[in-house]
Structure 1
Amino acid sequence: MFNPVFRTWLLFFLGALVPGVRHVSGIEIYTPSEIEAVNGTDVKLKCTFSSTQPVTLTTAVVSWSFRGINSKVDESVFYYQESGHPPLEGRFKDHVVWSGDVLKKDASITLQKVQPTFNGTYICQVRNRPDVHGISGEITLKVVDKVSMSEIGMLAAAVGGACAVVLVLLAIVVAVRFHRRKKMEKDIELHHPKPGVL
């Protein structure tokens, strides 16, 4: 009946003018891009969010999923709606606990006793009706045998080592000069006896 282009414009104007049509906005999600954890330890996957709508225990829904390094399939890690629902089977069974507080806009979880099979990408998704779901937060987890020294740590160690070397050299120079001065004073006393001394 109506031209498709005309119908699209008609729906657009009606949506903009008719009362009761709500503007929906996306939720913003914040996560670190990459973290490292030692095999067998616990690690917190930090995920916070912002929403233009009031956040309540009944409106907020959090879901975490996992994508392995060479996998294209996502695996459920954790689900939260009014309370936490950890997985009942799979690699994350008995390895994940809720660490967030949706009322404080925190959707974090903690992985316990991480294993090499936990290497991969963790996706944090948050919904808070009527806000629509925004871009997911993604964290790449690397499980290692020992913590690698960060660039900042290496820089601090290098600066500290250089300072220590400079201090040792300075101490040596001061000690040599002090020793020479004492030796010169003794030599002067030996060559120039005090007046009245035979």
Structure 2
Amino acid sequence: MFYPMYRIWPLILLGAFVVPGMRHVTGIEIYTPSEVEAVNGTNVKLKCTFSSSHPVSPQSVIVSWNFRPINSGTDESVFYYQEVPYPPQDGRFKGHAVWSGDIMRKDASITLHEVPPTFNGTFICQVRNRPDVHGSNGEIVFRVVNKASLSEISILALSVGGACGVILILLGIFVAVKFYRKRRMNNDIELHAREHEWKDPTVW
């Protein structure tokens, strides 16, 4: 059974429109840590990487970093990249934000120098790779502290190191006690031998 061509052509045209549209629904993906903590006055790198379904080049990628202070809904511009880096010329981030990314490696990171407490808030990394401009942004909750807090890895390392130290101390005590006992036993044997020699009536 054959279908007339005028019934088949609409289906072919519909497929031509639907299939290309299905290829581009993925959008651009951005990856950042959810939280970053830094000591007051130190330098810290804000890591932001991305993936795109289109070829990447310095001419096609646009990077925008913004900042949202605590208890404020207004975003501030931190850094901008389009073919070349554009560091901030005014505001709280002037002289503090520098480019540390590599577009060809899909890295859009920046580094903050000498961070003050006024940097507490949320940093937002936005990357667009034309024509791939759809996708969510990366957000980093940033905290400036006076002292570095111990991470879980540091606590684990200290615990393991402490346990190894205790084991070494106990091993040293065990070896010392064993050596002392052996030496004392040898002295007792030598003393008994001398006493026997003194008491032997056959010895003149």
Q: Structure 1-normalised TM-score?
A: 0.85
* Letter of the 1:63 counterpart: S
Written as runs of structure 1 = structure 2, the 5 A alignment for 1:42-191 is: 42-191=43-192
Q: Is the 8 A contact 1:65 1:123 kept in 2?
A: yes
Q: Is the 8 A contact 1:126 1:133 kept in 2?
A: no
Q: Is the 8 A contact 1:125 1:133 kept in 2?
A: no
Q: CA RMSD in A?
A: 2.2
What SS class does the counterpart of residue 71 from structure 2 fall into? coil
Q: Is the 8 A contact 1:38 1:146 kept in 2?
A: yes
**Equivalent in the alignment of 2:16:** 17
Which structure dedicates a bigger proportion of its chain to helix? 2
What SS class does the counterpart of residue 131 from structure 2 fall into? coil
> 2: CA distance between counterparts of 1:57 and 1:156?
42
> 1: CA distance between counterparts of 2:175 and 2:185?
15
**Equivalent in the alignment of 1:9:** none
Q: Structure 2-normalised TM-score?
A: 0.83
Q: Is the 8 A contact 1:49 1:105 kept in 2?
A: yes
Structure 1 residues 16-43: Cα deviation after superposition (integer angstroms, max 9, x where no partner): 5359x66534101111111111111111
**Equivalent in the alignment of 1:33:** 34
Structure 1 residues 66-91: Cα deviation after superposition (integer angstroms, max 9, x where no partner): 11121111111111111111222211
> 1: CA distance between counterparts of 2:116 and 2:63?
24
What SS class does the counterpart of residue 155 from structure 1 fall into? helix
> 2: CA distance between counterparts of 1:186 and 1:18?
100
User: For the structure 1 residues 116 and 14, does the alpha-carbon distance in structure 2 shift closer, same or farther, using more than 3 Å as the test?
Assistant: farther
Q: Is the 8 A contact 1:57 1:103 kept in 2?
A: yes
Query: Which is greater in Rg?
Result: 2
Give the aligned length. Answer: 185
Superposed structure 1 runs of 4+ greater than 4 Å apart: 13-16, 194-198
**1:182, distance to aligned residue in structure 2 (A):** 0.8
Could you list the runs of 5+ residues in structure 1 that have no partner in the other structure?
1-12
> 1: CA distance between counterparts of 2:180 and 2:57?
76
> 2: CA distance between counterparts of 1:15 and 1:49?
33
**1:14, distance to aligned residue in structure 2 (A):** 6.8
* Letter of the 1:31 counterpart: T
**1:196, distance to aligned residue in structure 2 (A):** 8.0
**1:132, distance to aligned residue in structure 2 (A):** 2.4
**1:57, distance to aligned residue in structure 2 (A):** 1.6
**1:123, distance to aligned residue in structure 2 (A):** 0.6
Q: Is the 8 A contact 1:65 1:74 kept in 2?
A: yes
Could you list the runs of 5+ residues in structure 2 that have no partner in the other structure?
1-11
Identity of counterpart residues, as a percentage? 62
